[in-house]
């Protein structure tokens, strides 16, 4: 049955298993909503279920997570991978699911995943200038000159020769501040405070573009709806 072959390939792409695994699932009755003559046997296969649950989103999925400390975004960084907090089948999706940029193991907060390569490229491109908001806790009290340095457009990080774009600093306490960036260089916030003589003890990303973590507890995640995705692109 040609339509069933299309469904099998589609489900394999969503990470439900190999095509053979999916064919076995069909025979065992684990896939519902595919009665003969059904009009839904074409992507996105509305009404089709796997083990009684609606299918995962089609390619183009975007996930918002509140990243806890101790997880890394790349095997190269060692430690527990942030993907371990997602359903295992998500790692088998094709196209692959990737993080939009990285947060180091010690940094918490807003992290985005997507399998949309075009959106991923847009969001990480320096040309996008997507605002990102970080809350920093510092080792020493702020001295008052940091905001001017960050906003100057002349601050140069150690090991680089290109000045940073202007960034906004809002003082929130004696040793706490909120920083808004429109670029995303390696460990940028930590290196910015190092450049003005301080050290970041804790860092949390609170916002990425229009997205915030409202209602999302640490370690939790959710799939963005079409309107939210449109707001990013």
Active-site annotation holds for 115: no
Q: Which single residue is written with the structure tokens 């507890």?
A: 217
How far is CA 75 from each of CA 37, 105, 112, 182, 203, rounded to the nearest angstrom? 46, 12, 17, 27, 21
Strand, helix or coil for residue 124: helix
CA distance 158 to 155: 10
Report H helices in the chain.
2-13, 19-27, 117-124, 146-151, 188-195, 226-232
- Write down the residue that tokens 């949309």 correspond to: 116
Burial 94-114 (b: 16+ CB within 10 A, else e): eeebbbbbbbbbebbbbbbbb
Q: Please give the DSSP secondary-structure letter assigned to residue 149.
A: H
- Per annotation, catalytic residue among 56, 77, 104, 225: 104
Phi, psi of 175 (to 5 degrees): -125, 25
CA–CA separation, 141 vs 164, rounded Å? 23
Q: Look at residues 111, 113, 112 and name the one whose alpha carbon lies nearest to residue 97.
A: 113
Is the Cβ–Cβ distance between 219 and 66 less than 8 Å?
yes
Q: What positions carry a catalytic annotation?
A: 104
């Amino acid at each position: 049955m040609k339509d069933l072959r299309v469904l099998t390939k589609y489900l394999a792409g969503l990470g439900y298993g190999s095509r053979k695994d999916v064919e076995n699932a069909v025979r065992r009755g684990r896939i519902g909503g595919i009665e003969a003559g059904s009009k839904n046997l074409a992507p996105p296969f509305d009404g089709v279920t796997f083990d009684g649950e609606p299918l995962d989103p089609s390619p183009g999925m975007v996930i918002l997570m509140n990243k806890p400390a101790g997880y890394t975004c790349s095997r190269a960084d060692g430690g527990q991978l942030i993907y371990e907090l997602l359903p295992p089948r998500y790692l088998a999706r094709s196209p692959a699911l990737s993080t939009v940029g990285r947060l180091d193991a010690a940094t918490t907060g807003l992290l985005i995943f997507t399998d949309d390569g075009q959106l991923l490229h847009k969001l990480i491109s320096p040309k996008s200038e997507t605002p990102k908001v970080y809350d920093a806790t510092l080792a020493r009290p702020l001295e008052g000159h940091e905001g001017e340095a960050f906003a100057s457009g002349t601050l140069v990080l150690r090991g680089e020769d290109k000045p940073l774009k202007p960034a906004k600093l809002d003082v929130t306490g004696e040793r706490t501040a909120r920083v808004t960036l429109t670029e995303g260089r390696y460990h940028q916030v930590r290196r910015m405070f190092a450049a003005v003589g301080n050290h970041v003890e804790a860092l949390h990303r609170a916002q990425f573009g229009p997205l915030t973590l409202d209602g999302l507890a640490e370690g939790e995640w959710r799939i963005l709806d079409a309107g939210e995705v449109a707001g990013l692109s």
